[in-house]
Amino acid sequence: MACPAVATASEAKEKAACVIGLALLSLLLLASPSSGMTPHLQPQQRSDAQATTQQSNAVSSPTVTLNVDPSPAVTTEHGRTYTYNYYYQSNDGWNWSGWAQALFTLGLVIFAAWQMRFIRQSTSATQQAANAARDNAIASKDAANAAKAMADIASKQLEMSHRPRIKFDLKVAGDLLINPNGSITFEYEATIMNTGNSPALQVHIEKEVYVPKDGRGSPVAEQQTVSKRAALNDDPFSATVEAGDGVREKGKMTTAADEIRNAFSDPLSDTFQIFVVGCVDYKFSFAEGHHQTPFIYFLSRKGIGGFDPAISTVRAENLLLRRIVEYEPAPT
């Protein structure tokens, strides 16, 4: 990339030298004294006495020297004779005013050339400073990016090696009841274990019973909705689970009667399915944001599958709760 710039600078120097040389040559020709004579042609019709008188006056003049070069006489058809004399004014003096103008103009040319050289050097220095500043800025940006990348890698390594890791398990702990109003209720037992290397803070379980409408709903989409809701919970009084420790939670889960009725909007369906979806949401001290362990469970009757609303109670030993790991999002 440097070759065109060098060629341009060299061409500029050659052009400047040519211009200055032509200017000096023109000035020298202008200032030099004229060696030629300017002839003045004057036809005369005269007698010998008049010619003698004019020559005598010319010789006696102290200010101007005239060189007379008579031409041969010319006789016209009327008998008149014309003699053409060429007068040359001698210019032997030195042209001081011309040389003064030439020297002054030469000084101006030299000053202009010096100014051009100074401007060119200043422009070159400014360009070099700008290029150096740009290179320094690029180097600083690259160094900052490299430092940030190294810091991110170190932070990620610290997080991966020292972070808490929550495991979750869910079991049916009692009978499933279909209430007279059409809602359902069953008992559960949840276990949370921290298998990581640091405490898990603000630990809480966000869960719900999901009954697909017409058997065509998506438990995965419902689980993602529950996870988004859990990330909004910043309760500082939630549980803390130390590394290597665990907690158990027992309770009841219920679904509304409207959800059960919506499951039978398809006249060909006479049973409904039950899913338990949610996540364990928690934080830790050296990383920002919420971290989650998602889960999706499918609840069914052993050997039968769906639930018949005409049956009021399903014994716990006839219930099967299976985790659908292949549909679960990855832990964060």
Give residue-wise pLDDT tens across range 214-229. Answer: 667 789 999 999 999 9
Provide the percentage of residues in the chain whose pLDDT is more than 70.
68
Please check whether residue 296 lies inside any domain of the structure: yes
Please check whether residue 175 lies inside any domain of the structure: yes
Q: How far is CA 34 from CA 17, 22, 23, 94, 100, in A?
A: 28, 20, 19, 9, 16
Q: Which residue has the higher pLDDT, 68 or 156?
A: 156
Confidence of residue 125 (pLDDT cuts 50, 70, 90): confident
Q: How far is CA 10 from CA 3, 16, 124, 164, in A?
A: 11, 10, 14, 69
Overall average pLDDT of the 82-104 stretch: 63
With both helix axes pointing from N to C terminus, report the angle between 96-162 and 2-31 in degrees, rounded to the nearest 10.
Answer: 170
Residue 58 confidence (pLDDT) above 50: no
Range of the domain at 294: 166-327
Please check whether residue 138 lies inside any domain of the structure: no
Pick from 33-47, 78-92, 166-180, 316-330 the range whose average pLDDT is largest: 166-180
Please check whether residue 188 lies inside any domain of the structure: yes
Kindly write down the DSSP assignment for every residue of 268-309, as one continuous string: T---B-EEEEEEEEEEETTEEEEEEEEEEEEEEETTTBSB-T
Please check whether residue 266 lies inside any domain of the structure: yes
Measured in whole angstroms, the distance separating CA 60 from the mean position of its chain's CA atoms is 93
Q: Contact at 8 Å (CB) between 188 and 295?
A: no
Query: CATH number for the domain including 196?
Result: 2.60.40
Instruction: Please name the residues in contact with 24: beta carbons below 8 A apart, sequence gap of 6 or more.
Output: 106, 109
Please check whether residue 23 lies inside any domain of the structure: no
Cα end-to-end distance, the chain, whole Å = 50
pLDDT tens-place string over residues 126-169? 888 888 888 888 988 888 898 888 888 887 787 778 899 999 99
pLDDT computed for residue 96 by the predictor: 75
Instruction: Please name the residues in contact with 247: beta carbons below 8 A apart, sequence gap of 6 or more.
Output: 191, 192, 203, 239, 241
Residue 196 confidence (pLDDT) above 60: yes
pLDDT tens-place string over residues 272-324? 888 999 999 999 988 888 999 999 999 988 887 788 877 888 899 999 999 99
Tokens read off for 65: 């020297």
Q: To 5 degrees, how large is the angle CA 126–CA 129–CA 132?
A: 150
Average pLDDT, rounded, for the chain: 76
Please check whether residue 312 lies inside any domain of the structure: yes
Side chain identity at 143, as an amino acid letter?
A: A
Please check whether residue 213 lies inside any domain of the structure: yes
* Overall domain count for the chain: 1
Confidence of residue 263 (pLDDT cuts 50, 70, 90): confident
Rounded Cα gap, residues 292 and 331, in angstroms? 6
Kindly write down the DSSP assignment for every residue of 151-188, as one continuous string: HHHHHHHHHHHH---EEEEEEEEEEEEE-TTS-EEEEE
Overall average pLDDT of the 250-254 stretch: 91
Torsional class of 79: left (φ above 0), alpha (ψ -120 to 50), beta (otherwise): left
Confidence of residue 205 (pLDDT cuts 50, 70, 90): very high
